[in-house]
Amino acid sequence: MPPIRDKFIIHSKAVVCQDVDLKGDITIGPGTVVHPKAIIYAIGGPIVIGSNNIIEEGATIVNRRKEVMRIGDENLFEIGSRVESPSVGDQNTVSTKARVHHTVRIGSHCSIGPKCFINTSEDIKLDDFTVLYGPNWEERLWSGRGQKQAEDLSTKHVEYLKEWLPKFNRLRRGEMP
Amino acid sequence: MSATIKYYCSCLSNTVVPPAPHLPSSSHSFHTLPELYFCEECDAVRCNECVSIEVSGYYCPNCLFEVPSASVRAEKNRCARNCFFCPQCFNTLAVVPSDPPDGTSFHQANSMGEPPFLLYCNNCRWDSAEAGITFEKSTGLAQQLQKHEDSAPDSLEFERLKDFFEPLLRASSSNTQHAPGTSSHSTHTNPITAAASSALARDIPGVSKYHPPPPRSRQKSKHGSKDDMPTYRSRVEIGGINGYGAGGEKDADLFSRLEHPSQVSTLAQKWTGSWSVSPLSRDLKPIRIPLHSRLTKRCPSCRHILIKPEQKAQSVRFKIKLVAANYLPAIEVHLPQPTASTRRVPGARTTQDADQSNSSRSSLLPGKSYPFRLGLKNPLYDPIQVRLVVQRQPLPAVPSAGEASTEKSRRPPFAISLPSTAFSIAPYAEAWEYEDEDDLDGLDDDDGLSPVKAAKGRSKTVGVLEKKANTTIVGGEIVIAKDGRGDAKFNMLVSYTYRSDEPPVDEMIGSKRATDLVKTNPETKTFTFYTVVDLGTIIPKEDARTASPDAY
Ligand SMILES: [Zn+2]
Ligand SMILES: [Zn+2]
Ligand SMILES: [Zn+2]
Ligand SMILES: [Zn+2]
Ligand SMILES: [Zn+2]
């Protein structure tokens, strides 16, 4: 394997803390908040993260594949979660300590509950509105009712972090797009 | 670690001496220290088995509303406000408004949100509209649901059952001097039990129908028994929601069309409901949260209150809290190393690994001796003098069935050595009061209670090992007999002498010892209590050879 060349493109409106662990070719879009101690490794191919995502402490995002790993908008990766999905849609929540294997693509409006673990031998895609929860990783489909409220909450969450994180953390700047 | 210690409450026996540790009754008589109470009036340890309990208040664990006991029954022991469990995952549900119509942002909409309101689960994202339940107002949801609940056939049936039993209950209480019939062993003599058992014998939804041949006694009681209980006929055939769940043709049809296991409600989901619950998970209704109670506990012999919580549900404090941990020294047992790793190739396992493997009971090998440590912590503001005595074990009386009664099996399986003299433990103090006197308060200024000297030739293992703040660590040793087997468990009598605030009028058990110990201070009292120490299991020789180290 050739050595990984670091290339970080961080949008001027993104909030990426200094103390994050980045490797490889990574693009971070406007409004996206990356907390300290988050880990983003583009080992195989590049990682492109859209706008207004939140990546919390200890959350790990890894691209093991050659093709670009695309993460959409307004996703929340909670503390200690680990996602290696080749693609992630919009408005998903990956809860604390949840893990998603590199064979699983995530649609939109999905919720992966705390400590849920998705690992398949073949490539699959989680349908939009999939909910995984509980100790047995049970699966449901969300009706979508309350979606507007969820969006609203997510917007407020991002706004709050954008205001407060820079007061206590040094920010990282990458090349402008 | 794997070695444990428990404290004795004498309530289950007539003697102050606990049962031998190998007896089954032992486990019921000993408790961990945090579970025990202390009655100052009786100067005795009390446990949850013997204290008398009164409910001092009911509250909802979710909204912390204190429910007056008068309304607990009417509200069927559940929160009558806005507290519900998710029927899918048992998370608590939140009340949320409907989403505003497309195009408008949420900020622009009414701050209270738009009706209809829903109950929404943040964990599995279930909402009550899935079960066809929405609310016009965001408050008093339980009342809004009450109408559904009260008109449910199951609920109506229950009301009818109560009405049916009411006169029977009255009748039975009015003539309690009811001469027992000839078949007195029959449970049918009491009209209440008779009525209840006949009602219970009816078909239970979800359980396959079973018709045992009616026993003779019942047939008799039907014809002109003194019970003269009318037969109860249910008005509705109980069949769950939409007639499903009764185990009939309809269910078979339903289940033949299932596509995914998640469509069926699980057993856990079903048995939390008060009434028969649909077999389909999509029909499950939100569950009102059951109330909790706060308890007052009293000493069984003198009726003094040992535990009295504060009235407010939000408070985690107690008005009265007489727990044993504030009176008796807390003891920790530590058996440094189980045999599992000592038998391994040196270096094959790091000590860290070995420590982690200690979560299971440690195993001891026959013919070996093991040092162990007892850490005693003084909860009192005065220094105490402690003496430890191992209770003599009666020999295992009869060897277990099928085994030849040899001389060997009559020998005790192990022997325990403990410091034979009393030792002191410094008083409890707030953390900041200790400062750096810790170092000074070592073994040196110990008033003549230094470790057991060469007399026993074990000055390193048996005796006082360390003193720090209000903790004294003493060492003991267990020697396992060559043919030892069973649990390395022994009863230990702990007596401690402390300065008493009262004049020493009623000197109690062990007072003789007390005067021996502290001659200078007459105002001392001695309290004694029993503990059981469990150091682990002795692996008999033959098993030890075959036991693979990988098993740990
Ligand atoms: Zn008792
Ligand atoms: Zn008791
Ligand atoms: Zn409540
Ligand atoms: Zn739920
Ligand atoms: Zn008492």
Q: DSSP states of A111-171 as a string? A: EE-TT-EE--SS-EEEPTTEEEETTTTEEEE---TTHHHHHHHHHHHHHHHHHHHHHHSPB
In-domain check, residue A54: yes
Which residues of B touch chain A, with CB atoms under 8 Å apart?
A: 88-89, 96-100, 105-107, 118, 120, 123-127, 129-130, 262
Cross-chain Cβ contact A152/B107 below 8 Å: yes
Q: How far is the CA of B41 from the centre of ligand 1 (A)?
A: 13
Q: CA–CA distance from B153 to each of B238, B241, B244, B270, B288 (Å)?
A: 8, 9, 13, 17, 19
Alpha carbon distance B230, B227 (integer Å)? 9
DSSP 8-class letter at A21: E
Mutate to test the interface with A, among B104, B106, B125, B138 (most CBs of A within 10 A): B125
Query: What is the residue type of B42?
Result: C
pLDDT of residue B470: 92
Domain that holds residue A57: 7-167
Supply the Cα-derived Rg of chain A in whole angstroms. 15
Alpha carbon distance B251, B56 (integer Å)? 46
In-domain check, residue A31: yes
Confirm if A42 and A65 have CB atoms less than 8 A apart: no
The structural domains of chain B, ordered by start, are 1-34+329-337+362-394+410-435+459-504+517-551 (2.60.40.10), 80-99+113-163+262-288 (no CATH)
Q: How far is the CA of B51 from the centre of ligand 5 (A)?
A: 9
Count of other CB atoms within 10 angstroms of residue B74 = 9
pLDDT bin (cut points 50, 70, 90) of residue B180 is: very low
* Most confidently predicted of A169-173, B130-134, B174-178, B528-532: B528-532
Nearest to A143 among B107, B127, B262 (CB): B127
In-domain check, residue A98: yes
pLDDT bin (cut points 50, 70, 90) of residue B412 is: confident
In-domain check, residue A29: yes
User: Per mean pLDDT, which range of B224-233, B431-440, B460-469 is the poorest?
Assistant: B431-440
In-domain check, residue A173: no
Confirm if B232 and B164 have CB atoms less than 8 A apart: yes
Q: How far is the CA of B3 from the centre of ligand 1 (A)?
A: 26
In-domain check, residue A138: yes
Burial of A26 (0-12, 13-18, 19+ CB in 10 A): buried
pLDDT of residue A156: 95
In-domain check, residue A47: yes
Angle at the Cα of B471 (from B440 to B384), degrees rounded to 5?
95
Give the SS3 label for residue B332. Answer: strand
Helix ranges, B152-248 (H): 153-174, 191-200, 216-222
Higher pLDDT, A114 or B206: A114
Per-residue burial over B108-125, b if 16 or more Cβ lie within 10 Å, else e, is ebeeebeeebbbbbbbbb
Q: CATH number of the domain that A90 lies in?
A: 2.160.10.10
Mean pLDDT of B365-394: 90
Confirm if B66 and B84 have CB atoms less than 8 A apart: no
Looking at the DSSP assignment, which residues form a beta bridge with residue B474? Answer: B374, B464
Angle at the Cα of B475 (from B474 to B481), degrees rounded to 5?
145
pLDDT of residue A38: 97
Distance of CA B315 to the CA centre of its chain: 22
In chain A, which residues have their Cβ closer than 8 Å to the Cβ of B116?
A: none
Alpha carbon distance B511, B517 (integer Å)? 10
Which residues of A touch chain B, with CB atoms under 8 Å apart?
A: 111, 113, 131, 133-134, 138-140, 142-143, 145-149, 151-152
Q: CA–CA distance from B272 to each of A3, B33, B128 (Å)?
A: 58, 34, 17
The beta strand positions in B310-449, using DSSP E, are 318-321, 330-334, 363-364, 369-377, 384-390, 414-417, 423-425
In chain B, which residues have their Cβ closer than 8 Å to the Cβ of A152?
A: 105-107
Confirm if B371 and B362 have CB atoms less than 8 A apart: no
Domain count, chain A: 1
pTM summary value:
0.70
- The DSSP-derived string for B445-471 is T-SS-PSP-TTTS-TTTSEEEEEETTE
Q: What ipTM describes this predicted complex?
A: 0.88
Nearest to A149 among B89, B96, B123 (CB): B96
Q: Does B63 score more than 60 pLDDT?
A: yes
In chain B, which residues have their Cβ closer than 8 Å to the Cβ of A148?
A: 99-100, 106
In-domain check, residue A75: yes
User: Per mean pLDDT, which range of A93-102, B29-38, B516-525, B535-544 is the poorest?
Assistant: B516-525
**What does the mean pLDDT of chain B come to?**
75
Angle at the Cα of B57 (from B51 to B58), degrees rounded to 5?
115
Report which of B128, B518, B66, B135 is spatially closest to residue B291, judged by C-alpha positions: B66
Q: How far is the CA of B430 from the centre of ligand 3 (A)?
A: 39
Confirm if B363 and B410 have CB atoms less than 8 A apart: no
pLDDT of residue B399: 46
Looking at the DSSP assignment, which residues form a beta bridge with residue B531? Answer: B7, B492
Higher pLDDT, B395 or B385: B385
